């Protein structure tokens, strides 16, 4: 596994420990390898931009991972 996978696993683990039921991220469609990694770990594309989304122009898609058992 690469460092990206290890970082993502750690983020998911810590989010679960904190009691969250979901993990949401914003990313760019241009980051092909990152998006494949996110999908591999179960993230799915949101159909709409979240209300909390940042004005960061490169955030072109948003993904969510459900953490509920």
The whole-angstrom separation of Cα 57 and Cα 19 is: 30
Global pTM value: 0.83
Q: Tell me if 31 sits within 8 A of 63, measured CB to CB.
A: no
pLDDT digits (tens, 9 = 90+) for 34-43: 999 999 999 9
At 55, is the pLDDT very low, low, confident or very high (cuts 50, 70, 90)?
confident
Query: Reduced to 3 states, what is the DSSP secondary structure of residue 14?
Result: helix
DSSP 26: E
Strand 44-45 and strand 22-27: the pairing is unpaired
Q: Tell me if 30 sits within 8 A of 61, measured CB to CB.
A: no
Share of residues in the chain with pLDDT > 90 (%): 59
């Amino acid at each position: 596994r690469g460092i990206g996978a290890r970082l993502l696993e750690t983020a998911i683990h810590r989010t679960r420990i904190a009691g969250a039921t979901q993990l949401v991220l914003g990313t760019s469609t241009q980051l092909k390898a990152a998006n494949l990694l996110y999908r591999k770990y179960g993230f799915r594309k949101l159909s709409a931009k979240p209300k909390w989304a940042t004005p960061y122009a490169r955030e072109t898609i948003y993904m969510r991972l459900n953490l509920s058992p």
